[in-house]
Amino acid sequence: MPVFYDCEASDLEGYPIEIGWAFTDAATGVVVSESHLIKPPGDWPVKESWDRAAERLHGIALAQLWRDGRPVWEVAQRMNAVLGGRELFSDAPQDETWLRLLFDAAGFEPTFTIRRTDARVLISQAAVDSGLDEAAYARARALAAEMAPRRHRAEADARNLAVLWHIVALGTLEP
């Protein structure tokens, strides 16, 4: 089962401030997800790269990171514990850069594989493999948007991808 992940950042060329992931639990068939705010390490010039427009979009304030963020090593350790041996997919190429920054700052390697295949391509292929035509795929996207709306927050956006994959690859989820 693929894992879908998403990052929010201080700026498009900045630093990760939130990471979220979602996947279908093979044992239960339920989509599980979580996210974590990232407390920037002292050597990340986040304040200098802070984009107010990005803040308005994701709704995460810099003060919130200092107050509620978890240290990079703790977030990276949690990811390895939950996602070890899994394959991760994102729908944005810069997410890989931000994920690597997180693990570099934590001082250890991920125990999962970061795939460069765009999550949307993976999901489209699952739709084709499932025999969905364009109209059925559009209905699946609408259902996923209803069940797990994208909100420019890491967990919500990753969950939307996981729900859509689940609908097209495994069949419809119960709301």
Distance CA(31)–CA(172), nearest Å, equals 12
Residue 159: pLDDT band (50, 70, 90) is very high
Residue 173: pLDDT band (50, 70, 90) is low
Query: For 79-93, what is the mean pLDDT?
Result: 97
70-71 and 31-39 as β-strands: parallel, antiparallel, unpaired? Answer: parallel
The 3 state secondary structure assigned to the chain is CCEEEEEEECCCCCCEEEEEEEEECCCCCCEEEEEEEEECCCCCCHHHHCCHHHHHHHCCCHHHHHHHCEEHHHHHHHHHHHHCCCEEECCCCHHHHHHHHHHHHHCCCCCCEECCCCHHHHHHHHHHHCCCCHHHHHHHHHHHHHHCCCCCCHHHHHHHHHHHHHHHHHCCCCC
- Is the pLDDT assigned to residue 77 strictly greater than 70? yes
Write down the domain spans for the chain: 3-170
Residue 167: pLDDT band (50, 70, 90) is very high
Q: What is the pLDDT of residue 148?
A: 95
pTM: 0.95
CB 99 within 8 A of CB 113: no
CATH fit for domain 3-170, picks 1.20.1270.10, 3.30.420.10, 1.10.760.10, 3.40.718.10: 3.30.420.10
Query: For 20-48, what is the mean pLDDT?
Result: 94
Cβ atoms within 10 Å, residue 133 = 10
Q: What is the pLDDT of residue 66?
A: 94
Q: What is the pLDDT of residue 175?
A: 39
Mean pLDDT taken over the chain: 94
CB 21 within 8 A of CB 2: no
Distance CA(78)–CA(86), nearest Å, equals 14
- Is the pLDDT assigned to residue 122 strictly greater than 80? yes
Question: What are the residues facing 141 on neighbouring strands?
Answer: none
Q: Which of these, 87, 129, 79, 125, lies nearest to 106 by C-alpha position?
A: 79
Residue 29: pLDDT band (50, 70, 90) is confident
The residue that leads in pLDDT, 27 or 165, is: 165
Query: For 108-123, what is the mean pLDDT?
Result: 96
Q: Which of these, 103, 107, 121, lies nearest to 168 by C-alpha position?
A: 121
